[in-house]
C-alpha cells in the first residue's frame, strides 16, 4: 500500500462513540441522534458511498467518494439510534467491540463517564448479519503499548476469536483503545490475523493498513469541522491532535492504575 505521504490521500475515516439522547456531564464524544443524522447529511454530499468490508478498504484505501464510518466501544445505543440512520443513508459501518464488556456497562471508562451499557451477544450477531462489520476493540480496553507482548497477544487474539464465534465470520479489523499502538502492537496484530487497524493518533511508521488514522467526531464539532475532516484538511488534523489530548490523559490515568 505504499508509504510516504499517501496517508494524506487516504479516504476519510470518521470515528464515532456514543449516539445517545442522554447528556454526559463531562464527556465530549456523545452525539445526539439528531446531530448524528446531521453529520451524515454532510458526509453524504461528498461521500455518497461507505466502505462495507475490510477487503474493500485494503484493496483501495484512496477511493474517491467513499467514507469509512467507525463506532468504537459498541454501545447499546448503536442499535437503537445509529444503525437506523445509517440504514436510511444506505451506509454500512465498522463496529468495534470490547469483548470483556459485552452486555455490561462501561466500568472500564473514567468514573465520570460510566453508566452506558454495551451491546449483548445477540445484538452483535444480528448487526453482523445486517451488514455491519464487527471488529475488535480488544478484550478489556487497556493501553496496549504499556503491556507485555504476551498481554498484547491475549487482548487481540482472545477478542478476535470470541467475536468470530459470535458472528460466524472472520474478524480482521481492530481499533486500538485510546488510539494507542507501537511497532510491537502492529507486529502482533499482523501475526494474529488482522488486516486493518485504526487509531485516532498519528504514528511514526510508514503508511500501513494496520495503522490507519481515523478522525474523531466530537460533540462540539460544527458542520464546517465535519466538512474539513472529509477533506482531511491540515488545520483540522492539527486541531484533532489537540482534541485527542483527552485520550492521552486517560492513558496516563490507566497506566498509573496499571489497568
Confidence (pLDDT) at 181: 93
C-alpha cell at 253: 490515568
Residue whose C-alpha is closest to residue 137's, from 166, 191, 175: 175
120 burial type by CB count under 10 A (0-12 exposed, 13-18 middle, 19+ buried): middle
Q: Would you say residue 3 has pLDDT above 90?
A: no
Q: What is the pLDDT of residues 105-161, one digit of tens each?
A: 988 776 666 688 999 999 999 999 999 999 999 999 999 999 999 999 999 999 999
Q: How many residues does the chain have?
A: 259
Question: What's the total number of domains in the chain?
Answer: 1
Q: Are 198 and 15 in contact (CB under 8 A)?
A: yes
Rounded to an integer, the average pLDDT of 33-46 is: 98
For the whole model, what pTM was predicted? 0.91
Rounded to an integer, the average pLDDT of 184-188 is: 97
Distances in whole angstroms, Cα of residue 51 to Cα of each of 14, 131, 140, 244: 11, 11, 27, 24
Q: What is the pLDDT of residues 16-37, one digit of tens each?
A: 999 999 887 777 899 999 999 9
Rounded to an integer, the average pLDDT of 219-226 is: 96
Confidence (pLDDT) at 258: 54
Query: What is the enclosing helix (H) or strand (E) of 119?
Result: none
Q: What is the pLDDT of residues 167-180, one digit of tens each?
A: 999 999 999 999 99
Q: Would you say residue 66 has pLDDT above 90?
A: yes
Q: Would you say residue 212 has pLDDT above 60?
A: yes
Q: Would you say residue 186 has pLDDT above 50?
A: yes
C-alpha cell at 230: 472529509
The overall average pLDDT reported for the chain is 90
* pLDDT greater at residue 216 or residue 245: 216
> Cα–Cα distance between 98 and 107 in angstroms, integer?
11
- Residue 249 is part of a domain; what is its CATH number? 3.20.20.370
Confidence (pLDDT) at 246: 59
Q: What is the pLDDT of residues 77-107, one digit of tens each?
A: 999 999 999 999 999 999 999 999 999 998 8
> Cα–Cα distance between 83 and 128 in angstroms, integer?
11
User: If pLDDT is split at 50, 70 and 90, which confidence band does 2 have?
Assistant: very low
Confidence (pLDDT) at 47: 97
Residue 186's domain comprises 4-256
Q: Would you say residue 41 has pLDDT above 60?
A: yes
User: If pLDDT is split at 50, 70 and 90, which confidence band does 56 have?
Assistant: very high
Beta strands 30-31 and 18-19, pairing class: parallel
Q: Would you say residue 4 has pLDDT above 70?
A: no
Which residues lie closer than 8 Å to 221 by C-beta, 6 or more apart? 39, 229
196-211 as b/e: b if 16+ CB within 10 A: bbbbbbebeeebbbbb
Residue whose C-alpha is closest to residue 74's, from 87, 88, 55, 93: 93
Q: Would you say residue 202 has pLDDT above 80?
A: no
Amino acid at each position: 500500500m505504499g508509504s510516504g505521504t499517501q496517508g494524506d490521500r487516504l479516504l476519510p475515516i470518521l470515528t464515532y462513540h456514543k449516539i445517545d439522547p442522554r447528556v454526559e456531564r463531562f464527556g465530549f464524544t456523545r452525539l445526539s441522534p439528531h446531530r448524528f443524522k446531521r453529520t451524515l447529511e454532510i458526509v453524504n454530499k461528498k461521500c455518497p458511498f461507505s466502505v462495507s468490508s475490510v477487503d474493500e478498504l485494503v484493496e483501495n484505501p484512496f477511493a474517491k467518494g467513499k467514507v469509512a464510518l467507525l463506532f468504537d466501544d459498541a454501545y447499546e445505543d448503536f442499535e437503537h439510534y445509529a444503525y437506523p440512520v445509517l440504514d436510511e443513508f444506505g451506509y454500512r459501518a465498522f463496529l468495534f467491540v470490547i469483548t470483556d464488556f459485552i452486555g455490561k456497562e462501561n466500568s472500564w471508562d473514567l468514573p465520570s463517564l460510566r453508566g452506558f451499557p454495551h451491546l449483548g451477544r445477540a445484538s452483535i450477531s444480528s448487526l453482523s448479519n445486517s451488514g455491519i462489520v464487527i471488529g475488535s476493540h480488544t478484550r478489556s480496553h487497556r493501553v496496549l503499548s504499556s503491556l507485555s507482548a504476551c498481554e498484547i497477544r491475549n487482548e487481540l487474539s482472545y477478542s478476535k476469536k470470541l467475536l468470530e464465534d459470535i458472528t460466524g465470520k472472520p474478524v480482521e479489523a481492530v481499533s486500538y483503545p485510546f488510539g494507542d499502538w507501537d511497532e510491537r502492537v502492529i507486529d502482533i496484530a499482523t501475526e494474529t490475523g488482522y488486516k486493518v487497524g485504526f487509531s485516532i493518533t498519528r504514528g511514526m511508521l510508514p503508511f500501513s493498513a494496520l495503522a490507519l488514522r481515523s478522525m474523531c467526531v466530537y460533540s462540539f464539532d460544527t458542520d464546517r469541522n465535519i466538512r474539513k475532516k472529509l477533506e482531511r484538511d491540515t488545520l483540522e488534523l492539527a486541531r484533532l491532535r489537540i482534541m485527542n489530548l483527552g485520550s492521552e490523559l486517560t492513558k496516563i490515568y490507566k497506566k498509573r492504575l496499571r489497568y
